[in-house]
Structure 1
């Protein structure tokens, strides 16, 4: 016999609801683990998947770049790792051909040789031959290795100037009817890609939607856009490619995706546009539905949606107070 919920004691109803919440949370964490194990690259069992190969090589040649950028690089450092990079890069080129990635690797290794030579350090002849032969097998790129910087030109803004800019960015929920230029969003993305990421792997993606019916459909899965859905001109969905990450990095997809999203929001703000972050805190079943509706590959995880529109001449925004700085800044 079915028991009505209304007849259950309050404490028992609360207990049942809590058990259901725990079950949903556990299912969500299992979903995270499943995707990480399915798509992340394995350091000691690298598959012939171009994306995984690219992220693996980026991780490891960036370690050489970081070694060269230290205050006092160790002479002849990283020889076993560099030999592995060369072996994997040659395998990559045999499968997928030469590209900007392998050109950047060659430039980095060329600078590695130059650094040791400038210090009159003789690399083992067999290892030096391995380096030289690999470098000669292809082109060196314009990026990779080191880039010289100067203190007086490393920033073009004072802290007070940046404060005015950063505080000026707010979540906008009331856009004008003027359409947003795709080219302008492309330029914002081009700037946003300079966000930091684990070992410079840059595992983020932006999916941009312009069709009004598609936007309405995708936002029907999201609970934070009620009342201004019809004013949104462009919808961005930021994702993270799970293939960019490896052991113990399942959370890194969301960290890198969040860093990129903030850079993107600031670039959109600099472009004179309005934007509003919309969370994608979905159970696994709904995330699958959203990715299907949005034509997003299965190996990408949803980070957030961003509603974008042109600004009205006058508009209002939510003005909640920020927590006092002394509550968040903890000196030790």
Structure 2
């Protein structure tokens, strides 16, 4: 029996054991799964490491993710109708303190600095008549900070009526329909300016409390791209044609609480779709690649990308200029009524 046969036998035995405790169900099945379901242990370790990283940064320098979250919470308070005279008491001093520390450590971009100062200025104007001592102390500390002079437009909350409808539903539908999963590419390089424009669109995606807990690791060197693409499952047979790969990496160090552990996948996926559509709008095709939670592959990818334990791969996106002679799956979609319901199930109201 050669190594390939041994591997097949081991996979078969493992699947038989898995199917047994899933079929058994109940307490015994769940207990067996807790022992044998090692992928959950990896996620648990990553979540723990993320919280540890959050508090390590909080002690050593300004906590940028907490600052972004709190400033966004202030924005939401400013948008409330009617607006309260006193709000955000529990975290306003922490927010100003984090801003001061982040400024001292040059942790923030000009865009972030402008946003923080504009929102905090609006907040302290809105609470100017509040008798709360914590707000007064935070205001005094804020007024002592040197306001940055950056040539960026006002970034405090603004009226919804100033928004414009710039894309028709017909054009958006056409863009979505034109996007398909392409696996055959020309070797022509994708201009980095086009990639950055797609990332600008991706950064406009919603993110829980505006923390943006993801990064894109771009491989635009064909040798690197093919090496990285080959680590994922499902790329055999076409990974050698790939010239560009984006690895979407989630940062669990953005959170102090395990309740938020899914946000790297939610926020990351929202950004990924925007990135893909923005590439498509520039004539650049793409293909999403599922990332499997398999220990050996996680370890290899972490080694290639230099990932920390609190960083997890969410997915891979292959992209480039499509080979017109290549084929792409039709991938028939579901009808709308197969995935849409209105209202609560009968008897639940």
Please tell me whether residue 85 in structure 1 is matched to residue 95 in structure 2: yes
Please tell me whether residue 249 in structure 1 is matched to residue 257 in structure 2: no
- Tell me by how many angstroms 1:92 deviates: 3.7
Distance 1:88 1:319 in 2: 50
Q: In structure 2, what is the equivalent of residue 307 of structure 1?
A: 318
Q: In structure 1, what is the equivalent of residue 142 of structure 2?
A: 134
Distance 2:263 2:60 in 1: 20
Q: In structure 2, what is the equivalent of residue 67 of structure 1?
A: 77
Q: 1:47 aligns with which of 43, 54, 58?
A: 58
Q: 1:283 aligns with which of 275, 294, 310?
A: 294
Q: 1:328 aligns with which of 327, 339, 345?
A: 339
Deviations 1:105-150 (A, max 9, x none): 2221211133345xxx454477336414413412157564313343
Deviations 1:247-302 (A, max 9, x none): 11111111111111111111111111010011111313321211212333443210
Q: In structure 1, what is the equivalent of residue 248 of structure 2?
A: 238
Q: In structure 1, what is the equivalent of residue 273 of structure 2?
A: 262
Q: Is the 8 A contact 1:24 1:283 kept in 2?
A: no
Q: Is the 8 A contact 1:276 1:307 kept in 2?
A: yes
Please tell me whether residue 114 in structure 1 is matched to residue 129 in structure 2: no
Distance 1:147 1:41 in 2: 36
Q: Is the 8 A contact 1:33 1:250 kept in 2?
A: no
Q: In structure 2, what is the equivalent of residue 14 of structure 1?
A: 16
* Deviating more after overlay: 210-219 vs 89-98: 89-98
Distance 1:154 1:80 in 2: 36
- CA distance change for structure 1 residues 182 and 62 in 2, over 3 Å: closer, same or farther? same
- CA distance change for structure 1 residues 31 and 6 in 2, over 3 Å: closer, same or farther? closer
Q: In structure 2, what is the equivalent of residue 28 of structure 1?
A: 39
Q: In structure 1, what is the equivalent of residue 224 of structure 2?
A: 214
Normalising by structure 2, we get a TM-score of 0.80
Q: Is the 8 A contact 2:71 2:116 kept in 1?
A: yes
- CA distance change for structure 1 residues 174 and 114 in 2, over 3 Å: closer, same or farther? same
Distance 1:321 1:330 in 2: 21
Distance 1:200 1:245 in 2: 12
What SS class does the counterpart of residue 236 from structure 1 fall into? strand
Normalising by structure 1, we get a TM-score of 0.84
5+ long unaligned stretches in structure 2: 1-5, 23-31, 344-349
Alignment of 1:117-196 (within 5 A): 121-124=129-132, 127-128=135-136, 130-139=138-147, 142=153, 144-150=155-161, 153-196=163-206
Q: Is the 8 A contact 1:175 1:312 kept in 2?
A: yes
Please tell me whether residue 228 in structure 1 is matched to residue 206 in structure 2: no
5+ long unaligned stretches in structure 1: none
Distance 1:311 1:81 in 2: 50
* Deviating more after overlay: 79-88 vs 14-23: 14-23
Distance 1:126 1:224 in 2: 56
Distance 1:111 1:5 in 2: 63
What SS class does the counterpart of residue 188 from structure 2 fall into? coil
Number of aligned residue pairs: 322
